[in-house]
Structure 1
């Protein structure tokens, strides 16, 4: 690169880096060399027309929009409970039978079913009926819980386990506690018709005087 071209390139770079009002002049010195300068000497110096500087507007950086806050999802059921038997209640039945009754608010949604758990094990098949009959339960304390499941078998809602105490009182014990009378036979379970005593049809003999 010639000295003249190098000098001109430096002045152009200086023009880019200097404010827009800076000017560049050129002239030929006594040795016949062309000189570029921003401080011209009186004489044959001429102003060099510079191309306008490219100006880019500052880009304002915008923060990314915040995702909208998600509304809390309310559970589909406000109430799910076992109406009968009450928690920690005692159920007396000679055969060990028990009728479990369930309540939910709102009522079961389409595709949902009740499932009864007895001591942690499913009893029968899930269904939409709110009544589950249990038969021949063993004496002692047991745990009851109810679930609402969807069509895929996933649990939607569940009650806490609650204890129930089953007491199987024998019929003989009931008869001893409350003896059977004639109107009780065929009415009270412990007073079977077959055990009803035969009526006394003998007519007492009344001697004539």
Structure 2
């Protein structure tokens, strides 16, 4: 029974030493009245103290996991997530031209399955490098789009900003008069005389037409 108790004390002492990072420290063992004692400090006045040397603990470097070895790549994760919705752009069609002074452009989307707006899912869209705008409607009208070639980008995200569809894009063109031409037309119209309500000059009478 005593040997078993001593063995438990020995295990606890070693565990305590390891917990306090004294794996390389010296442990002292001695007996008093038939009882075995252990300590990490030398005992003064105690005979037959035996100095023990603990073995150095072996350490291991952190393990680095290569995602390619697990067949879980960022591309695969994005592809799997993108299967939540199928998103299409029905307007504009590729390279469609929009004409008009106001630069209006109508966007139309098709989504399969139906958009779960109640769950915080929205359509994010942007023109060129502008910031994203959001909508839950399948049709959006933009105005004052600059003349020239543009690219529309769209995708579906959740309320955490996680992509729920692949991002798609389509090119289109806006044809509208430049601001300089519009200003010149405005100035010309304002400078033109207004002849409405003009009165005839008194004392001048038009001669009668010659009879045939």
TM class, shorter-chain normalised?
Answer: 0.3 to 0.5
TM-score by length of 2: 0.43
Q: TM-score, normalised by structure 1?
A: 0.44
